[in-house]
Structure 1
Amino acid sequence: MKDQYLTIKELTKNVGGKVTPRMVRHYHTLGLMPPAQRSSGNYRLYTQQDAQRLKRIVALKEQGFQLSHIQQLLTNDSETEVNPTLMTQLQQQYQAVISQISRLRQTATALEGILGRDEHCQTLQANLLAHLRLLEVETQDSLEGLEQLWQNLDAAVSSHPEDFKESLQHLLPELCDRSEIEIDLLSQLVLACGDVSIINFVRLSRDAIAAARHAMLAQCQIVGDVPAVTATLDQTRLAHLKCQVTTLINDPHVTDVVEAEQAFWQQSTWVENLEKIPPQSILIVGYAPSVLMKICEAISLHQIQPALVVAMPIGFSHAPAAKRRLIRSGIPYITIERTMGGGLLAAVVINALAKSLIDKPNCHCYLQSL
């Protein structure tokens, strides 16, 4: 009977080392963990059900939920109706997180203003750093002086073109474990949206670049979800590779994510287009998350067998779920986690892959990760 129970140390080990015995005792105090049974020596004893509950607490905590909210989520787990109080609290936490992100974005912008400059601005950079070291914010004059220094630094950029390569060298994270082609792809995504942090959310399957290059060399079909995506593709390079470009929802009036999602539910012809896609095609979803979900369903039913899916639809509930399903599908993929994405970024991926294939047809650096 004793072997059925876990000690507190065994419990934390069972969870995976992400929680300590002290934290478990704290969770008992908060009511997150139910009272534990006791041994004859007054030691806490836990069941597998307790271990499962602790794993859920740790998982929710890692997702950013506050402990008070986790308690309510676990308490209301069996209820079928949404707790309006909890939803209000979660909305307030969301707004607080967004405010924090905004403050961090301001800090990042200030750092980019220094690090993103090229060698032509080094003298002004040195003056700015010296001023920052001596900055006193007690008076408005000091702030105005700093603003004037920023203006001087900004004025210098008009005297020469921006050196994007040098700026990226200063700002990109360490990417020594990535292939040359993947680094170029990530750099193009950064330049397309102006946000270096996007690199943290880009996900590529290990075989994504290899699958893309092999498919393009085989003159595969490139299929976008809406005209706004296919219109942004590099038609010249794709034509050079003899890759035909087609559109699933071939409606010129679909120009944004709302219209793309509506077209998914209101039109049926695009489903027929999906079923006619040749094997080993490259699919691009830049707008409608429901299209991606349908693609994942067709893959699971072996109705289609694409070589690669580039999935960057926008959405706040369907898109993250569809992207997660794609990652589990076993098909080579390139996506951006969570709600981030868009038709332009999806097209940038294909354009970068096509360019690298034409410019460096014999490059095999991407095979190092396979």
Structure 2
Amino acid sequence: MYSGCLTIKELTQAVGGGITPRMVRHYHELGLLPQPERSPSNYRLYNQQDVIRLQRIVALKEQGFQLNHIRNILEVELETDNNANFMAQLQQQYRSVMQQIAQLRQTASALEGLLGRDRHCQIMQAEVLAQLKLLEVETKVGLGGLARLWHGLDAEVHTHPEVFAESLQHILPDLSERSEIEQHLISQLVLACGDVSLVSFIRVSKEAIAVSRQALASACEIVVDIRTIATAIDQTRLVHLGCKVTTLINNPHITTAIEAEKEFWQHQQWRETLEKVSEGCIVVIGYAPSVLLEVCTLINQEKIQPSLVIGMPIGFSHAPAAKRRLMQQTSPFITIEGTIGGGLLAATALNALVESLIEKPNCHCYLNF
């Protein structure tokens, strides 16, 4: 073997991350990796530059980039070191991805419109599905027929209230590997935003359900970042449990993520208040990413010891970073990866936990998962 060169097996071992020779060959086919030189015995030979490039591919893939976007990123890096050009390329890729998401969202909405029907709509649904198979939509007349089908199906919604539980059964992914209480939590979060794709981004740590029930049953303190969340949580049930609600940024004029973030940065008093939260409390953050980052810092410094952190702040850079940091903590958490979040979702998560505890106080299904 040539000195300093690696075989494909040695390359995958050097890179790690679950990379296999088959994946490396696939990357060659896609143009992600340049074709390597060959030994006299026709073995692929790799050098340190190949190791570095493959490591970058793995790192970008783990961050959520698709392979075709990774190829574009690497091509731009090879062509120029100009950050402006690089950012322009990334923006172009982002617009392309968002266009694809919009198209997929439109398809998903159409499917949800058919699948998310309760038993009261099934007769009309069956009729629509039968006609849909025969429908010709290449002409304006055909498109009109499609519109009439939807009109007929939509007419059924006037005859009865929507049965949300039945609709969710038809469109939610398989949640059988999650406990009954966690399934309820996820369902409530989906209903709060009307987006089933949210399921893929919900993260519930292993001990989150157990410790939340213990804390709530012990009348723990509930700490929210701003008053908007306090108005959305189920105060009646919390009073029944004996839980006191404390607002961290206790300014009635702060109602948005922008205001909450600015207020927390400008006034040291809110950081000092955060350090005084009671041990075993549940912290609910739905707006300010900096509050969640500070919570993580204080937990690491052992200055606070919440039983659970519900971290769902809004933002496009700080919020995803704060959530990633939360998921690295040993403390139990519930969060939604990425930019998605908000006070309604954060409050909904807490309300679902409270509701499950009161209605099913003796349920221990979560201990089996």
TM-based fold match above 0.5:
yes
- Hey, what does 1:63 align to over in structure 2? 65
CA contact 1:33–1:54 (8 Å) conserved in 2 = no
- Change in Cα spacing, 1:275 to 1:48, as seen in structure 2 (3 Å) is same
CA contact 1:114–1:125 (8 Å) conserved in 2 = yes
Residues in 1 aligned to 2:264 and 2:34: alpha-carbon distance in whole angstroms: 45
Residue 141 of structure 1 and its aligned partner are, at CA, apart by 1.5
- Change in Cα spacing, 1:204 to 1:21, as seen in structure 2 (3 Å) is closer
Q: How does 1:174-185 map to 2 (within 5 A)?
A: 174-185=174-185
Residue 34 of structure 1 and its aligned partner are, at CA, apart by 9.4
Matched, 1:104 2:107: no
- Hey, what does 1:172 align to over in structure 2? 172
What is the CA RMSD across the aligned residues, in angstroms? 2.3
Identity percentage over the alignment?
A: 57
CA contact 2:36–2:46 (8 Å) conserved in 1 = no
Give unmatched runs, 5+ long, in structure 1: none
Q: How does 1:1-370 map to 2 (within 5 A)?
A: 5-14=5-14, 15=16, 16-18=18-20, 20-23=23-26, 25=28, 43-46=43-46, 50-61=50-61, 63-64=65-66, 65-73=69-77, 83-369=83-369
Residues in 1 aligned to 2:231 and 2:94: alpha-carbon distance in whole angstroms: 36
Residue 23 of structure 1 and its aligned partner are, at CA, apart by 3.7
- Change in Cα spacing, 1:241 to 1:6, as seen in structure 2 (3 Å) is same
Residues in 2 aligned to 1:23 and 1:117: alpha-carbon distance in whole angstroms: 42
Amino acid at match of 1:110: A
Residues in 2 aligned to 1:298 and 1:206: alpha-carbon distance in whole angstroms: 21
Residues 246-269 of structure 1 show CA distances to partners (whole Å, capped at 9, x for unaligned) of: 011011111111111111111221
**How many correspondences in the alignment?**
362
Residues in 1 aligned to 2:293 and 2:353: alpha-carbon distance in whole angstroms: 24
When normalised by structure 1's length, the TM-score is 0.91
Residues in 2 aligned to 1:145 and 1:46: alpha-carbon distance in whole angstroms: 60
- Change in Cα spacing, 1:286 to 1:12, as seen in structure 2 (3 Å) is same
CA contact 1:60–1:70 (8 Å) conserved in 2 = no
Amino acid at match of 1:116: G
Residue 326 of structure 1 and its aligned partner are, at CA, apart by 0.5
Residues in 2 aligned to 1:367 and 1:2: alpha-carbon distance in whole angstroms: 56
Residues 62-108 of structure 1 show CA distances to partners (whole Å, capped at 9, x for unaligned) of: 522330212334777xx6xx611111111011111111111111111
- Change in Cα spacing, 1:97 to 1:241, as seen in structure 2 (3 Å) is same
When normalised by structure 2's length, the TM-score is 0.91
- Change in Cα spacing, 1:48 to 1:212, as seen in structure 2 (3 Å) is farther
- Change in Cα spacing, 1:24 to 1:116, as seen in structure 2 (3 Å) is closer
Amino acid at match of 1:119: R
Residue 284 of structure 1 and its aligned partner are, at CA, apart by 0.6
Amino acid at match of 1:234: D
CA contact 2:57–2:70 (8 Å) conserved in 1 = no
CA contact 1:225–1:248 (8 Å) conserved in 2 = yes
CA contact 1:205–1:332 (8 Å) conserved in 2 = yes
CA contact 1:179–1:365 (8 Å) conserved in 2 = yes
